[in-house]
Amino acid sequence: MKPTILLTGKTGQLGSELNRLLPKLGQVIAPELTDLDLSKPEQILQVMRDTRPQLIVNAAAYTAVDAAETDQVNALAVNAEAPRLLALEAKKLGATLVHYSTDYVFDGSKKAPYVETDLPNPLNAYGRTKLAGEQAIRASGANHLIFRTSWVYATHGRNFLLTILRLATEREELKIVADQVGAPSCALDLAEATTKIVAGMIADDKSQFAFPEASGTYHMTAAGQTSWYEFANAILEEARRAPQNLPWRASATKGRPLIARRLVPISTEEFRSPAPRPANSVLSNARLKQVFGVALPDWRTQLQNCFSPERAPVNPSAALSSR
């Protein structure tokens, strides 16, 4: 018998990649939003008690960073209260919770990559709710792996890659923030790294997951660092080089040509957004490498891979129809 894995957020950037990869390791149960709405505690308890998973992979989150400023009740319910309940139920079942958190738990004032033991100090409501989720998981006493990642993108969903491609078909000049640095991380690489780590937890008889001695918090991002401005430049460079007929790219640009000629670097000050963002979002991945032997490719390679026909991007509708 394969172990049971409960996956949340199967429609998201990361969740849809996990929904393709995790079935190699166990029987994946990935409920619809109508059956598992994380803002409804009674549904969380019901699903956990009905499915009795050995592993919970929580890829769902309230990720609308600006909206969270004025919608803190919902953001808190999904990002803090739901992980707390998942962890408490996991503890009762002796299960392990894999959860994702964010670079936005830090204030960005450090002049070097953040390590796991650095003091969090979120600048915005989203970061505060994600930090509360982390703290609740740690306090539950459940076996857990919290992977903090950053600047996530995929070939579907709402993200910087697709926004830049769309804007580049609409405007000749794009103004992009140049004084925030981070590591753009492709959802597929994050899902692959997670799957590799989870595979290492499978017991010899393949019927269950072993207790991860390495329970704790880890940074998991692309290697290297860049600014939004450099990332936008790289996206357009890759897009000009890549085949025009990649399905995800054609859908992002609606088949229109790229007309952007000039990218103008601007400051955070000039680009006002409801939620403040940290200037430095770079996370050190040294602990992930040391404990699990896992290192993600650098951000530029991950971006190039997205534009490569060989590295098939996820087809969300195929992923959804699989369960």
- Give the catalytic positions in this structure: 126
**Does 59 help bind ligand NAP (rule: CB under 6 A)?**
yes
**Does 217 help bind ligand NAP (rule: CB under 6 A)?**
no
**Does 13 help bind ligand NAP (rule: CB under 6 A)?**
yes
Contact 150, 105 (CB under 8 A): no
Contact 151, 184 (CB under 8 A): yes
Q: Give Cβ neighbours of residue 207 (< 8 Å, ≥ 6 apart).
A: 1, 2, 3
Amino acid, res. 322? S
**Does 78 help bind ligand NAP (rule: CB under 6 A)?**
yes
**Does 102 help bind ligand NAP (rule: CB under 6 A)?**
yes
Among 6-14, 105-113, 209-217, 265-273, the segment contacting ligand NAP (CB under 6 A): 6-14
Owner of token pair 């070939």 = 155
Residue selected from 113, 122, 127, 157 as contacting ligand NAP according to rule CB under 6 A: 157
Name the residue nearer to ligand NAP (CB basis): 28 or 202. Answer: 28
Name the residue nearer to ligand NAP (CB basis): 157 or 202. Answer: 157
**Does 239 help bind ligand NAP (rule: CB under 6 A)?**
no
Name the residue nearer to ligand NAP (CB basis): 15 or 278. Answer: 15
Strands (E) in 20-131, as ranges, are 27-29, 55-58, 96-102
Residue selected from 14, 29, 145, 177 as contacting ligand NAP according to rule CB under 6 A: 14
Q: Give Cβ neighbours of residue 143 (< 8 Å, ≥ 6 apart).
A: 90, 94, 95, 96, 97, 211, 212, 215
C-alpha distance from residue 155 to each of 16, 31, 140, 152 (Å): 11, 23, 35, 11
Residue selected from 19, 123, 124, 151 as contacting ligand NAP according to rule CB under 6 A: 151
Number of residues that bind ligand NAP (CB under 6 A): 28
Both tokens of 227, joined, read 């600014």
Among 143-151, 200-208, 234-242, 265-273, the segment contacting ligand NAP (CB under 6 A): 143-151
Residue selected from 33, 73, 259, 312 as contacting ligand NAP according to rule CB under 6 A: 33
Name the residue nearer to ligand NAP (CB basis): 212 or 316. Answer: 316
Residue selected from 4, 6, 9, 174 as contacting ligand NAP according to rule CB under 6 A: 9
In eight-state DSSP terms, residue 312 is P
Name the residue nearer to ligand NAP (CB basis): 2 or 224. Answer: 224
**Does 299 help bind ligand NAP (rule: CB under 6 A)?**
no
Residue selected from 5, 22, 30, 38 as contacting ligand NAP according to rule CB under 6 A: 38
**Does 113 help bind ligand NAP (rule: CB under 6 A)?**
no
Report the Cα–Cα distance between both ends of the chain, in Å, rounded: 19
Alpha helices in 2-62 (DSSP H): 13-21, 41-51
Q: How many residues does the chain have?
A: 323
To ligand NAP, the closest distance from the beta carbon of 77 in angstroms equals 7
Strands (E) in the chain, as ranges, are 4-8, 27-29, 55-58, 96-102, 143-149, 152-153, 173-177, 181-182, 185-186, 216-219, 226-227, 262-266
Residues binding ligand NAP (CB under 6 A): 8-9, 11-15, 33, 36-39, 59-63, 78, 100, 102-103, 130, 149-152, 157, 187
